[in-house]
Amino acid sequence: MRNLFGGGLYAALTGIPVTLLTVVRTRLQLFGNELQTAKLHVLRELSLVLAMVAFAGLGVVLAVVLVLSLLWDQRVAVLSCLSVLFVGLAVICYALLRRSAVASDNMFAASLAELQEDLRQLKAEAGHGQDPH
């Protein structure tokens, strides 16, 4: 009985919780790092979008006033052309934002890959320890 508790099976069984906690701790650290990176990425993009909208709006208003004052006699044609231009630019910006959103869908890819690898290794160990009968 002493040999059973001194090593072998007992030692292996008592080491499982320690190993499991170590794996969980590592995965949580990785998840936290990815979450922090994602948060910084979103905040940076949001601040850039807000600055872009503010400066672009001011620039558009000033440009429209300038063009209208220079071409007052053709103001209907100028307003029509500028409206088409601004709608086209809005569509291009929308397409770029959609592409950016699709590119960042793999937010926790590294954590998921590591968890998948852990699962694969656990399944391999479970299959290795079973009796082939």
Per-residue b or e along 23-37, where b marks 16 or more CB atoms closer than 10 Å to that residue's CB: eeeeeeebbeebeee
Which pLDDT value is given to residue 1?
Answer: 46
Amino acid occupying residue 112: L
Which pLDDT value is given to residue 88?
Answer: 93
* Residue found under tokens 């948060």: 39
* Residue found under tokens 């320690």: 18
Tens place of pLDDT per residue across the chain (133 aa) = 445 455 677 777 777 887 888 888 888 888 888 889 989 999 999 999 899 989 988 998 998 889 889 999 998 998 899 889 989 988 998 898 888 877 766 666 777 787 788 778 877 776 655 555 4
> What SS3 class is residue 105?
coil
Q: Residue 2, exposed/middle/buried by CB under 10 A (0-12, 13-18, 19+)?
A: exposed
Which pLDDT value is given to residue 86?
Answer: 87
Which sign does the torsion angle of CA 69, 70, 73, 78 carry? negative
Residue 45's CB is within 10 A of a number of other CB atoms, namely 14
